[in-house]
Amino acid sequence: MMSRREGRRQPSRGSLAAVLLPLILSAVGCGGCSPSYVLRAAYEETRILWSREPIEDILAGDQVSDEVRAKLELVSEARRFAQEDLGMAVGGAYGSFAEVPPGALLWVVSASDRLRLKSYTWWFPIVGDVAYKGFFHREDADAEAAELKEQGYDTYVRESSAFSTLGWFDDPVLSTWLEGEPVALVRLVIHELLHRTTYLSGQTTFNESFATFIGSTGSAAFFAVRDGDESEPAKEARAAWQSQIARSERWGKSIERLRALYRDVASGDRTSEDGLRERVVIFEEFGSSKEMNNAVILAHYAYSSHLRQFQCVLDEEQGDVAAALARVRTATEAAPDEPFAALGSCAAETGPGA
């Protein structure tokens, strides 16, 4: 049975504004955005969508370099694999191409309490509470971060080259994506398609970590089928996934130490001054303590929380990525408030909180 998202056609230029307008109006009163923010974001998104060109038309022409042609053909192959082998809701997503300026497409703001591993969240229609807010211009992101810092939050502004409209529109491949190596490009496409396939409102960490899992293991499966199980791309993709798991576990242990420290502060066993001083020592386990804070940690860990538990599901499904995807999706959509705890025998405690 075709899903609602699978059946949605790409809107024409004439109909696109009519589709965006009610979304804009519904978002004006939301807790995460002002009318000017929504209108500006809608304008930038519309500009990208209107600039799309079907990849099949580009490949049919002779105005594209061999390198770009090879990568666009790779995207097309990855889309087919995602739909036919992994059972993902592909529709028209990434069947088109859009030229964007070099560098970051978005600047993303995250924030956190200073003495709790608790993300500041913004509320948006459809997606619910989200632990980040994107801006198309760096000065707007910096202004948002400065305001939050003034309120006493740890803040983090980072670049992003990708976004997903979660199936509401057929997102294009962006020109900046083609700067990456083949394994990274396929991983990114499958990662973003996971958001189109399933998305739990208000569960940022689960959504991103699940997408990391499927993007990584899905790309490894793709190259194994395409080039052979022992091909260099397949081995590179598998090695990258194992490295992500190892990093997830290292960070998880350090996060537990931070949580213990913050609990001591909350209970009065340590002062706030002690907590702020002692957290710097733990920050060194993540990287440069001068650049690290709670917002940085939570923003990165949102993409790599409990990856060992996802690998457990894959192991129990004998390495079948499609079966693992379907199992996780079914279990978590039935229990969206506690998705990590819904993984059955591979269940994990919910990610870092207060």
1 inside domain: no
Confidence of residue 129 (pLDDT cuts 50, 70, 90): confident
Which residues, 6 or more positions from 133, have their beta carbon under 8 angstroms from its beta carbon? 32, 33, 108, 109, 122, 144
% of the chain with per-residue pLDDT over 90: 68
Q: Which of 17-26, 72-81, 177-186 has the least mean pLDDT?
A: 17-26
**Cα angle 156-161-162, degrees, rounded to a multiple of 5:** 105
205 inside domain: yes
202 inside domain: yes
Residues 224 and 69: their CA atoms lie apart, in Å, by: 22
Confidence of residue 67 (pLDDT cuts 50, 70, 90): very high
Strand, helix or coil at 280? helix
Specify whether the CB–CB gap between 119 and 112 falls below 8 A: yes
State the residue range of the domain holding 144: 17-249+303-346
pLDDT in tens, 180-227: 999 999 999 999 999 999 999 889 899 999 999 999 999 999 999 999
Q: What is the pLDDT of residue 81?
A: 98
318 inside domain: yes
230 inside domain: yes
Of 354, 311, 338, 329, residue with least CA distance to 205 = 338
Of 204, 243, 217, residue with least CA distance to 351 = 204
114 inside domain: yes
Q: End-to-end alpha-carbon separation of the chain, Å?
A: 42
54 inside domain: yes
Residues 51 and 16: their CA atoms lie apart, in Å, by: 12
Q: What is the pLDDT of residue 101?
A: 80
The string of DSSP letters for 248-263 reads HHHHHHHHHHHHHHHH
Residues 199 and 192: their CA atoms lie apart, in Å, by: 11
Q: What is the pLDDT of residue 44?
A: 74
Residues 37 and 52: their CA atoms lie apart, in Å, by: 23
Specify whether the CB–CB gap between 33 and 27 falls below 8 A: yes
Q: Across-strand partners of 53?
A: 97
Statement: residue 54 has pLDDT above 90: yes
Residues 59 and 309: their CA atoms lie apart, in Å, by: 40
Residues 250 and 252: their CA atoms lie apart, in Å, by: 5
39 inside domain: yes
Q: What is the pLDDT of residue 205?
A: 93
Residues 350 and 340: their CA atoms lie apart, in Å, by: 6
Specify whether the CB–CB gap between 245 and 315 falls below 8 A: no
Residues 143 and 282: their CA atoms lie apart, in Å, by: 29
Surface-to-core class of residue 169, CB atoms within 10 Å of its CB (0-12 exposed, 13-18 middle, 19+ buried): buried
Of 116, 57, 54, 46, residue with least CA distance to 260 = 116
Give the pair of three-digit tokens for residue 8: 């949605």
For 21, other C-beta atoms within 10 Å of its C-beta total 11
Residues 3 and 61: their CA atoms lie apart, in Å, by: 33
Helices (DSSP H) in 174-270: which residue ranges? 182-197, 204-227, 232-267
Q: What is the pLDDT of residue 8?
A: 34
Confidence of residue 11 (pLDDT cuts 50, 70, 90): very low
Of 232, 230, 200, residue with least CA distance to 328 = 200
DSSP β-ladder status, 96-98 and 173-174: parallel
Q: What is the pLDDT of residue 90?
A: 96
Statement: residue 22 has pLDDT above 60: no
pLDDT in tens, 265-321: 999 999 999 999 999 999 999 987 678 999 999 999 999 999 999 999 999 999 999
Q: How many domains does one find in the chain?
A: 1
Confidence of residue 255 (pLDDT cuts 50, 70, 90): very high
